[in-house]
């Protein structure tokens, strides 16, 4: 995860950075493992951030359920 800190450090305050992740932000500390490293990464990512959380059922699940309901003749 050190590479993620390096990237966020290089881009912080200079460039926009888009991150798409499945784990919610409150689980990043346990995923990263090192609390100090997690704090540093999240501090740089979340300061002045626009955060979007998608809710609802996965589109993959919806698409798969639609495909499984159609039968080939």
Residue-wise pLDDT for 4-34, tens only, equals 899 989 998 898 888 888 888 889 999 999 9
**Global pTM value:** 0.65
Please tell me the distance from the alpha carbon of residue 51 to that of residue 69, in angstroms, as a whole number: 35
Sign, CA torsion 12/18/32/53: positive
Which domain covers residue 33, as residue numbers?
2-69
What pLDDT, in 10s, does the model give residues 33-51? 999 999 999 999 888 888 8
| Domain total in the chain | 1
* 8 Å CB contact between 29 and 35: yes
């Amino acid at each position: 995860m050190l590479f993620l800190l390096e990237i966020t450090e290089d881009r912080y305050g200079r460039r926009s950075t888009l991150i798409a992740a499945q784990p919610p932000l409150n689980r990043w500390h346990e995923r990263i493992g090192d609390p100090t490293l997690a704090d540093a990464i999240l501090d740089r990512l979340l300061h002045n951030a626009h955060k979007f959380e998608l809710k609802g059922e996965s589109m993959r699940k919806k698409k798969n359920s639609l495909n499984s309901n159609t039968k080939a003749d």
